[in-house]
Structure 1
Amino acid sequence: MYKNQSIHYLNNGEIDLKNSSFFSLEIPDTMVVGKNVGKVLSYNSNYSSDEYYLSDYHFLTVIVENEYENGLIKKDTFSDGTFTPSFGIFARKKGYQTVRGRIMEEIVYDIPSDSSVVVKEHFKYFEKDVFVQKPT
């Protein structure tokens, strides 16, 4: 399930990329106990700088709520400077598990009139039920 997405269509049926904000992930349905890998396959943003800003820079970070020993839940963060980073998923024990996380898009705007910057954050949320088995 992906929350906080919007997809708009043009009259010809194609996706209006300028006005749409969405993503797709690759998270395996079956994982093994221990470390697993997910990936952002695509990310489309409709957030950009206003005309009076000189430029903007987008940064994407995936934050995953991983559960470790003794029920410790840690928010692990992953970023590689692209809009398609890989991220780690820790499976603590066999059985069903829900993978939860969010994608944080940070937009840094340069303001040429006073040499300062503005940072805006936008979040999209995801969760997926998976089955965890012992490593083979």
Structure 2
Amino acid sequence: MIVLLGPGFVLNEPQVYGRDKEKDDIVKILINNVSDARTLSVLPILGMGGLGKTTLAQMVFNDQRVTEHFHPKIWVCVSDDFDEKRLIKEIVESIEGRPLLGDMDLAPLQKKLQDLLNGKNICSS
């Protein structure tokens, strides 16, 4: 599971009330619809600012059913200055648990990520 969010968001799940149904619905969609590791699913959470989209995404990300179903789980923040290479590098470093040595071009980074995720259950929200 890979979660991509906008700038300034911290993964911190506060006590939340009244969103259990939405969380359960999203968890069921993710778990039931991602049976083939070769299929990439994107599940956007849309709405105006302040509605709790990030909090809802955090609740889903931290749900035990999601933790048991998806490996690895990665949380990545997308900046206003979107940089595909930086995002892929951060995802690879998160999976490997260490920084990448040297500067890699985009194509080798993409190949490395593909190799790391081969056969994994992945979802992008």
What's the TM-score bracket when you normalise by the shorter of the two chains? under 0.3
Higher helix share: 2
Q: Which has the higher contact order (CA 8 A, sep 6+)?
A: 2
TM-score, scaled relative to structure 1: 0.23
Larger radius of gyration: 1
TM-score, scaled relative to structure 2: 0.25
Higher strand share: 1
